[in-house]
C-alpha cells in the first residue's frame, strides 16, 4: 500500500498573504490519498477556510501522473475566502510546488490549477491562470476557490514530504 497524505496545514493570512504548509507521507505502494485541512489566522478581515479535501484516485493515474480539473472534477479541493461584502480582491499564487522527501530520496511535484467563483458553483468557476487575478466577493463577503492540477508521483519514494503552497489575497 502506498499512501500519500497531504495536509494543507497552517493557512495564515499575514497582511494579505496566505501560506499553506503541505506535508505528505508515503508508505508502501498502490494506494494514494491526499487530505487537506487548514488552520486559519484572521488578519485584515480576510479568512481562508478549507471546505473539501483533494481526493486522489490511483486508478486515474497514467504513468505516475494524476490530473484533477478544478473546473469540473469532484475530486478537486475547495476553499472559501471570506471578507467584506462586494469588495474587490487580488488573488495570485505560485502554480508549481516540489515536495522533497525529508527522510531520503524522492519528490512529488504539484502543478496547481485554481478556479474561482462568487457563488458555490464549480462548473461556473473561472480559471485563475494569470499571474494575478482581480475578483469580487459576493454580497455575503464570500469567494469560492477550487484547487486541482497535475500531481506527479513518478519520483515518489516511501517517506515524508513537505513544502508550501502560497496564495496571496489582497484588497484593492
| Number of domains, the chain | 1
Kindly state the cell numbers that stand for 138: 459576493
Please name the residue ranges forming H helices in 80-144. none
Q: What is the pLDDT of residue 58?
A: 60
Q: Are the C-beta atoms of 109 and 98 separated by less than 8 Å?
A: yes
Predicted TM-score (pTM) of this structure: 0.76
Could you give the CA distance from residue 80 to residue 86 in angstroms, rounded to a whole number? 15
Kindly state the cell numbers that stand for 94: 505560485
Per-residue pLDDT of the chain (172 residues; tens, 9 = 90+): 333 433 333 333 333 334 444 444 454 443 344 444 444 444 568 888 889 877 766 667 789 898 999 999 998 989 999 999 999 999 888 888 888 888 888 888 889 899 999 999 999 999 998 778 999 999 999 999 999 999 898 887 877 777 666 788 888 8
Instruction: CATH number of the domain at 45, please.
Output: 2.60.40
Burial readout 51-77 (b: 16 or more C-beta within 10 A, e: otherwise): eebbbbeeeebeeeebebbbbebebbb
Q: What is the pLDDT of residue 136?
A: 97
Domain encompassing residue 133 = 3-171
Amino acid at each position: 500500500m502506498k499512501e500519500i497524505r497531504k495536509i494543507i496545514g497552517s493557512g495564515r493570512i499575514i497582511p494579505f498573504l496566505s501560506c499553506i504548509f503541505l506535508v505528505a507521507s508515503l508508505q508502501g505502494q498502490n494506494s494514494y490519498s491526499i487530505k487537506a485541512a487548514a488552520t486559519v489566522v484572521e488578519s485584515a478581515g480576510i479568512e481562508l477556510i478549507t471546505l473539501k479535501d483533494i481526493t486522489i484516485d490511483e486508478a486515474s493515474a497514467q504513468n505516475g501522473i494524476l490530473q484533477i480539473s478544478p473546473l469540473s472534477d469532484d475530486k478537486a479541493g475547495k476553499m472559501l475566502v471570506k471578507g467584506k461584502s462586494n469588495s474587490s480582491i487580488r488573488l495570485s499564487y505560485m502554480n508549481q510546488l516540489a515536495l522533497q522527501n525529508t527522510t531520503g530520496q524522492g519528490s512529488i511535484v504539484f502543478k496547481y490549477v485554481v478556479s474561482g467563483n462568487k457563488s458555490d458553483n464549480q462548473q461556473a468557476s473561472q480559471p485563475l491562470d494569470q499571474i494575478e487575478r482581480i475578483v469580487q466577493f459576493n454580497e455575503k463577503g464570500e469567494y469560492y476557490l477550487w484547487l486541482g492540477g497535475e500531481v506527479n508521483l513518478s519520483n515518489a519514494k516511501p517517506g515524508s514530504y513537505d513544502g508550501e503552497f502560497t496564495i496571496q489575497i489582497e484588497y484593492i
